[in-house]
């Protein structure tokens, strides 16, 4: 079997057809981008959510399963700078799933879809022998030539992230521990909510596309270290980021250094669905510090040397290991 | 849980959003149809293929699994009269799947895709705890307003089918029985091939759309009796079909009446991926008897009375029971 997702995707690209002029971006980005003939390009994306891999019924109520599954695809459209339009929902139901579960699932899904102006126009359904499986297919549109790809980052570009990273990972830890917490209840609530009902950054993606600010973007679905690696790999560049600039799950006003665990979550925790994007130095000052309630923060720079480097708070520079989620290697549960 | 697929789809349509003017056909047809702004409408479809439900590794070699999964979606585009364009492939692999299996799967899939001019532009992949699962997403295009829906059949229209029905079901029986056959080896080979490598009728669908011949169409994926019921339900009509006009899996030159089992396969066997379509009486003579090697045969007529009736070879008229595959009720294996 393939050893990693990257090995699989490289193989698949090598055997897939060469690609006509209509295909602007095929296998290997957040979503596919094809010419639709008119003034808009068509974005196509699909994301699997599987019981026992991406969610469990013990930790995730049905509406959260629907919301999270839909958020994965919305976030891909956001990363391309597009506007989501139409969705198909494929659902494989196990015999254990109740009607109440199905209704809750769609309630969560439709609520998020409506908020983003997406219409669910079809799908497929089957009874399956094992776990519940969901595949969310989403189309989006973007003005011709204005989509943001992973591959456009250039040495010298500044690296930005939206929101706080690692909150979703912290939320999952809290859900799994089921411990009564005497600690920071406000942070705990924020983290569990970030995990159960993540908010894809479609508005921000559109801003970056419309204003031509970003040279490249990717959504942080598998963790900053892994998704930064993918963006750099696609762009043929490296990156240097500063630990103490990364907006982690901790409270910024806490007044002391974040714990190792909090740092690990910020660097490698997935499912935050924030955007990671690169901006030419000359335009960096045009990136607002906050957009529609979400902070945007510069965390480093793109380098010619094709390596990922992390500058610790102590000033020590080291290799940043991609330790986020690889879909071929492990499950979170 | 929902008792049937129909009950589920009815519920889903009732809770899905009302639908904007851009949505020409939402939940409840072979595929969704949306306005793309230009001279073409966009067709979107997705089909699940799940190990143990739609295929088994014992009966279906990996290339056949890839071919069959892809054929399901191609056939939906064919039924709308569209031209297939771009595909996404979602694949949930169990740990038992070997690299050779994955390569064989894509070989079968890509061969069919290339033959129909479809480019695979993306997808998603995961390791799953249980059975292998596949979701094939396909876009198609059709000239604005020229898509054929399920809902356009009118009383008096003639009912046609392409090809021979029940061949795929017969092929599955032969594969399952593993018996050495002394009977008609040519028919056996034809049937096994029809089951393992079905050929979606995209050329025929385009002909019907371009020439404005069909008032309604559906692909026969779950069996003639079930798919005729769906077409009639969507159109608010009924149908009367003649048993001795149905092109079954038997050899037409056989000179004797088909067996009960052969008739059952022709009426209720699924996965032939032939087209069932309705044509106004005045245009019926313009339907060729054969198109690109596939025979087209009139089998009955659309009625105002919303019932399905079967005229037996004896002349006896009876109710046609929809006994094809319901995705909420059983597995074929």
pLDDT at A330 over 60: no
| Residue that the structure tokens 């009902």 belong to | A197
Ranges for all domains in chain A classified under CATH 3.30.1330.10: 16-143
pLDDT at B331: 54
Residue A88 Cα, gap to closest chain B Cα (Å): 7
> What would the mean pLDDT of A21-37 be, rounded to a whole number?
89
Task: Of A128-137, B158-167, B177-186, B252-261, give the range with the top mean pLDDT.
Answer: B158-167
pLDDT at A273 over 60: yes
pLDDT at A186: 87
Chain A touched by B106 (CB under 8 Å): yes
- Using pLDDT thresholds of 50, 70 and 90, give the confidence band for residue A328: low
Ranges for all domains in chain B classified under CATH 3.90.650.10: 150-319
Residue A16 Cα, gap to closest chain B Cα (Å): 7
Chain B touched by A315 (CB under 8 Å): no
Nearest CA among B142, B248, B118, B284 for reference residue B205: B142
pLDDT at A312: 93
Rg (CA), chain A: 19
Chain A touched by B56 (CB under 8 Å): no
pLDDT at B44: 97
Q: Distance of alpha carbon A161 from its chain centroid, rounded? A: 11
pLDDT at B17 over 80: no
Choose the CATH number for B5-143 among 3.40.50.1860, 3.30.1330.10, 3.40.50.1100, 2.40.220.10.
Answer: 3.30.1330.10
Residue B242 Cα, gap to closest chain A Cα (Å): 32
pLDDT at A255 over 60: no
CB contact under 8 A, A128 and B123: no
Residue B98 Cα, gap to closest chain A Cα (Å): 5
CB contact under 8 A, B53 and A126: yes
Chain A touched by B333 (CB under 8 Å): no
Q: List B residues 20-39 in contact with A (Cβ-Cβ < 8 A).
A: 20, 22-23, 25-27, 29, 31-32, 34, 36-39
> What would the mean pLDDT of A290-309 be, rounded to a whole number?
97
Residue-wise pLDDT tens digits, B278-319? 999 999 999 999 999 999 999 999 999 999 999 998 999 999
- Per the DSSP assignment, residues forming a β-bridge with A139 are A44, A86
- Using pLDDT thresholds of 50, 70 and 90, give the confidence band for residue B38: confident
> What would the mean pLDDT of B19-44 be, rounded to a whole number?
89
- Return mean pLDDT, chain A: 92
pLDDT at B15: 87
Structural contact between residues A207 and A213, judged by C-beta atoms closer than 8 angstroms = yes
Chain A touched by B97 (CB under 8 Å): yes
Residue-wise pLDDT tens digits, B189-214? 999 999 999 999 999 999 999 999 99
pLDDT at B330: 55
Q: List B residues 67-86 in contact with A (Cβ-Cβ < 8 A).
A: 85-86
CB contact under 8 A, B131 and A129: yes
Choose the CATH number for B150-319 among 3.40.50.10860, 3.30.365.10, 3.90.650.10, 3.30.420.10.
Answer: 3.90.650.10
Chain A touched by B314 (CB under 8 Å): no
Nearest CA among A172, A190, A183 for reference residue A249: A190
Task: Find the closest chain B residue to A93 by CA distance.
Answer: B328
pLDDT at B10 over 80: yes
pLDDT at A4: 83
From chain B, pick out residues whose CB is under 8 angstroms from the CB of A327: 125-127
Least confident of A15-29, A190-204, B62-76, B88-102: A15-29
Task: Find the closest chain B residue to A105 by CA distance.
Answer: B12
pLDDT at A167: 96
Both tokens of B150, joined, read 């399920």
Ranges for all domains in chain B classified under CATH 3.30.1330.10: 5-143
From chain B, pick out residues whose CB is under 8 angstroms from the CB of A46: 88, 90, 122-124, 135, 137
> What would the mean pLDDT of A191-210 be, rounded to a whole number?
97
CB contact under 8 A, A42 and B42: yes
> What would the mean pLDDT of A49-62 be, rounded to a whole number?
95
pLDDT at B255: 56
Chain B touched by A15 (CB under 8 Å): yes
In three-state secondary structure terms, B23 is strand
From chain A, pick out residues whose CB is under 8 angstroms from the CB of B17: 110, 113-114, 119-120
CB contact under 8 A, A328 and B127: yes
- Using pLDDT thresholds of 50, 70 and 90, give the confidence band for residue B333: low
pLDDT at A329 over 80: no
Both tokens of B90, joined, read 């979602």
Chain A touched by B131 (CB under 8 Å): yes
CB contact under 8 A, A92 and B12: no
pLDDT at B23: 92
Phi/psi at A83 (nearest 5 deg)?
Answer: -110, 120
pLDDT at B218 over 90: yes
From chain A, pick out residues whose CB is under 8 angstroms from the CB of B123: 27, 46
CB contact under 8 A, A86 and B44: yes
pLDDT at B24: 92
- H/E stretch holding A274 reads strand A274-279
> What would the mean pLDDT of B137-159 be, rounded to a whole number?
97
CB contact under 8 A, A129 and B125: no
Structural contact between residues B208 and B79, judged by C-beta atoms closer than 8 angstroms = no
Residue A6 Cα, gap to closest chain B Cα (Å): 11
pLDDT at B253: 52
In percent, the amount of chain A with pLDDT more than 70 equals 94
Chain B touched by A7 (CB under 8 Å): no
Both tokens of A247, joined, read 């907006």
pLDDT at A5: 82
Nearest neighbour of A131 by CB, restricted to B25, B32, B130? B130
pLDDT at B252 over 80: no
Task: Find the closest chain A residue to B48 by CA distance.
Answer: A124
CB contact under 8 A, A2 and B36: no
pLDDT at A138 over 60: yes
What is the C-alpha to C-alpha distance for residues A121 and A125, in angstroms, rounded to an integer? 14
What is the C-alpha to C-alpha distance for residues B127 and B122, in angstroms, rounded to an integer? 17
Chain B touched by A117 (CB under 8 Å): no
Nearest neighbour of A26 by CB, restricted to B47, B92, B122? B122
Structural contact between residues B250 and B165, judged by C-beta atoms closer than 8 angstroms = no
From chain B, pick out residues whose CB is under 8 angstroms from the CB of A97: 1
Chain A touched by B96 (CB under 8 Å): no
In three-state secondary structure terms, A309 is strand
pLDDT at A331: 54
pLDDT at A173: 92
CB contact under 8 A, B124 and A29: no
What is the C-alpha to C-alpha distance for residues B95 and B109, in angstroms, rounded to an integer? 21
- Using pLDDT thresholds of 50, 70 and 90, give the confidence band for residue B143: very high
Three-class SS of A173-227: HHHHHCCCCCCCHHHHHHHHHHHHCCCCCHHHHHHHHHCCCCCEEEEECCCHHHH
From chain B, pick out residues whose CB is under 8 angstroms from the CB of A127: 53, 327-329, 331
Phi/psi at B107 (nearest 5 deg)?
Answer: -60, -45
Q: Which CATH superfamily is domain A16-143 in?
A: PurM-like, N-terminal domain (3.30.1330.10)
Q: How many Cβ atoms are within 10 Å of A3's Cβ, its own excluded?
A: 11
- Using pLDDT thresholds of 50, 70 and 90, give the confidence band for residue B232: very high
Both tokens of B92, joined, read 């949930």
How long is chain B? 333
- Return mean pLDDT, chain B: 92
């Amino acid at each position: 079997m393939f050893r990693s997702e990257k090995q699989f995707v490289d193989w698949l690209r090598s055997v897939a057809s060469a690609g006509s002029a209509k295909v602007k971006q095929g296998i290997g980005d957040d979503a596919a981008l094809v010419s639709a003939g008119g003034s808009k390009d068509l974005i196509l994306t699909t994301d699997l959510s599987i019981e026992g891999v991406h969610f469990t019924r013990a930790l995730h109520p049905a509406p959260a399963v629907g919301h999270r599954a839909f958020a994965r695809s919305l976030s891909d459209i956001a990363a391309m700078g597009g506007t989501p339009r139409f969705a198909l929902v494929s659902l494989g139901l196990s015999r254990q799933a109740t009607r109440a579960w199905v209704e809750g699932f769609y309630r969560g899904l439709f609520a998020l879809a409506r908020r983003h102006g997406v219409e669910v126009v079809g799908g497929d359904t089957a009874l399956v022998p094992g776990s519940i499986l969901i595949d969310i297919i989403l189309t989006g549109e973007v003005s011709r030539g204005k989509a943001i790809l992973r591959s456009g980052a250039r040495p010298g570009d500044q690296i930005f992230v939206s929101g706080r990273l690692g909150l979703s990972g912290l939320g999952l830890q809290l859900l799994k521990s089921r411990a009564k917490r005497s600690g920071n209840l406000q942070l705990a609530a924020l983290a569990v909510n970030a995990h159960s009902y993540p908010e894809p950054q479609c508005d921000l993606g559109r801003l970056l596309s419309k204003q031509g600010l970003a040279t490249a973007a990717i959504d942080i679905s598998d963790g900053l270290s892994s998704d930064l690696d993918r963006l750099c790999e696609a762009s043929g560049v490296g990156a240097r980021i500063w630990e103490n600039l990364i907006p982690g799950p901790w409270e910024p006003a806490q007044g002391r250094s974040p714990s190792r665990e909090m740092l690990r979550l910020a660097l490698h925790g997935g499912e935050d669905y924030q955007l990671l994007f690169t901006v030419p130095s000359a335009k960096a000052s045009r990136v607002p510090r906050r957009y529609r309630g979400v902070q945007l923060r510069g965390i480093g720079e793109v380098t010619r040397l094709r390596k990922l480097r992390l500058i610790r708070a102590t000033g020590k520079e080291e290799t940043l290991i991609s330790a986020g989620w690889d879909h071929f290697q492990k499950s979170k549960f």
